[in-house]
Chain A
Amino acid sequence: MNAKVKRALRKAFPLIFWLLVWAACYRAVGQDLLLASPLQVARRFAFMAEAPFWRCVGMSLWRTAAAYMLGMIIACALAVACHLSKLLDEVISPALLVVRATPVASFIILALVWLSSSNVPILAGVLMVVPVVFANVREGITSTDPQLLEMAKLFGWSRLKTWRRVVIPTVLPTFVAACQACVGLCFKATIAAEVIGVPKNAIGTQLYTSKIYLETDNLLAWTLVVIILSLVIERLLKAAFERGLRRVHHA
C-alpha cells in the first residue's frame, strides 16, 4: 500500500468509524421511524436531482446571506456611532448584551407576529450577527494605538483619512474574526427560524415537514445538507477573509 492510499484511508477513517456507529445504532434501535439507516438517508439524496431541492437551498442561502450582510452593516454602523457618542453607547451596549443572552427562538416567535414568515429567518440571522460583530469592532476601535492617532493629528489628517489609514486597518483582524465566527451561527439561526416560521422554499420547512410526517430518513438527509453547506460556507469565507486580510496587513 503506497503512502497516498494510506493517507487517504487515514483521513477517511473517522467518517467510516462514525458511519459504522450509526449503522450499529440503527440495528440496535430496529425502528425506521426512530432512526433511519445510513443507506436509507443516502437514497434520500436523490432529491438533489429535483428542482424544489435547489429552490429550498437557494432561498435559505439567500436569507442567510441577506441576514449576514445586513447584520454586519448594522453592527459596524452601531459600533462607530457608539464610539463617537458615549450616550448612545450607554444605551446600545447593554441592549445588545440582552439580545446576545436571549434565546433566538423567543425573538423568532415574537417576530412572527410582526413579519412575514419569509422575513423572520433574516431577522433571526441579523440578531445572531449584530452583537458579536458589534463587540469585536468596538473592541478593535478602542484598541487603536493612541500614538498612531497622535501622529495622525500632527500630520493634520481629517477624521476620514485617520479612520482609513489608522483605525480601519487596526479593526480589520477583530472584524474578520467576528465575521468568521458568525457565519455558521447565522446560517443555523436562519434555518431554526425557518423551522418555526415554515416559509415557502426553505431548508427549515423541509426539516419541519419531515418531522411532521415522521420521515426520519428525510430529516437526517436535510440535516446533512445543512452540515455540508455550513462547512462549505465557513471554509469559503475563511479563505476569502484571510486573503483580504493578508492584502491589507501583509504579515
Chain B
Amino acid sequence: MSIMLENVSRSFDGRQVLKNVNMTLPDKGAVCFFGPSGCGKTTLLRLICGLDKPDEGKIILPQGTRFACHFQEDRLLPWYTAEENLRLAGEGIDPRVWLEKVLLPEAGKLYPNELSGGMRRRVSLARALAYQSDVLVLDEPVRELDEATAEKMLELIAQSVGDRLLILVTHDRSQAEKLGCRVIEFPLGGEMA
C-alpha cells in the first residue's frame, strides 16, 4: 500500500513552506525530492516520517510503517561506540560487517567524538541501511564525503534498498539517476502522483 498526502500544508512563523501538497508515493522503488535549499524537502520528509504534524491536510500511511532515517545530522548516541550505535538498529545485526561496508573496519570501538564528520555520517548511514524498515529515508546521504567514497556509498545504498521504498533528498541530480529514482522537483506545485 502506498503513502498518500492529501492537501498537506505546513508553515513556520508565518512562512508557508508547503501548500496543499497532494502526493502518492509507491510502496517500493525509489523517489527523490530534488530542489534548492529551503524549499521544503526536509519538512515534507519529517511530515511523512511522523516527526512533525501538518497544519492542514492529512498523511495516510499503511498501518505500522517503519522508517529507517539518515538525516543531515548524524544523530549518533555520543556515549556509545560506533559498534554500539549500529547495534541500536536491531538484534542480529553484525556491526563489523556494516562498518566494513561503509569503509570503516577499524572504527568499531571508537566513540562519535573520535570520528570525523564524514565517518560519523557513514556510521549513521550504515545504521539506517541496517535497520529493518518499510521506508528508507536518506537526507543528503553523501554530503561531506569525497567523490570516491560518495560513489561507493551510493552503490551500497542501491544494494541495500531491497523491497523498501527509498526516499532520497538531494541537490545533486546525478545521485538520483544513479539510484534510479523518480525525481520530484521542489518547490512543489500542483498534484503529484
Contacts and interface: CB of A to CB of B under 8 A. Distances in A.
Contacts of A154: 49, 51, 67-69
Which of B49, B50, B51, B69: most chain A Cβ within 10 A? B51
A156 B67 CA distance: 9
B75 A248 contact: no
B75 A151 contact: yes
Interface string B21-55: 00000000000000000000000000001110000
A156 B133 CA distance: 11
Interface of B: 49-51, 66-69, 71, 73, 75, 77-79, 88-89, 111, 113, 131
Interface string A144-169: 00011011011110000000011001
B104 to A, nearest CB: 18
Contacts of A155: 88-89, 131
Nearest to A169: B79
A172 to B, nearest CB: 9
A251 interface: yes
Contacts of B131: 155
B192 to A, nearest CB: 24
Contacts, number: 33
A153 B66 CA distance: 10
Nearest to A161: B88
Contacts of A166: 77
Which of A147, A150, A151, A166: most chain B Cβ within 10 A? A151
A148 B88 contact: no
A165 B66 CA distance: 20
B66 A248 contact: no
- List 10 tightest A-B contacts by C-beta distance, closest first: A169-B79, A151-B75, A150-B51, A147-B75, A249-B79, A154-B69, A250-B111, A154-B67, A147-B73, A251-B113
Contact of B66 (A156, A169, A251): A156
A138 to B, nearest CB: 21
A70 to B, nearest CB: 28
B63 to A, nearest CB: 13
Nearest to A247: B79
Contact of A169 (B50, B68, B77, B113): B77
A166 B131 CA distance: 19
Contact of A248 (B50, B67, B79, B89): B79
Interface in A233-251: 248-251
Given A147-B73, A156-B66, A251-B113, 9 more contacts: A147-B71, A147-B75, A150-B51, A154-B49, A154-B67, A155-B88, A248-B79, A251-B78, A251-B111
Contact of B79 (A151, A153, A250): A250
Contacts of B89: 155
B40 to A, nearest CB: 18
Nearest to B128: A154
A251 B77 CA distance: 13
A153 B113 contact: no
A148 B77 CA distance: 7
Contacts of B69: 151, 154
A251 B112 CA distance: 10
Given A154-B69, A156-B66, A250-B111, A148 B51 contact: no
A186 to B, nearest CB: 28
A139 B49 CA distance: 29
12 contacts: A147-B71, A147-B73, A148-B75, A148-B77, A155-B89, A165-B77, A165-B88, A248-B79, A250-B79, A250-B111, A251-B111, A251-B113
B64 to A, nearest CB: 9
Contacts of B73: 147
A251 B50 CA distance: 33
A168 to B, nearest CB: 10
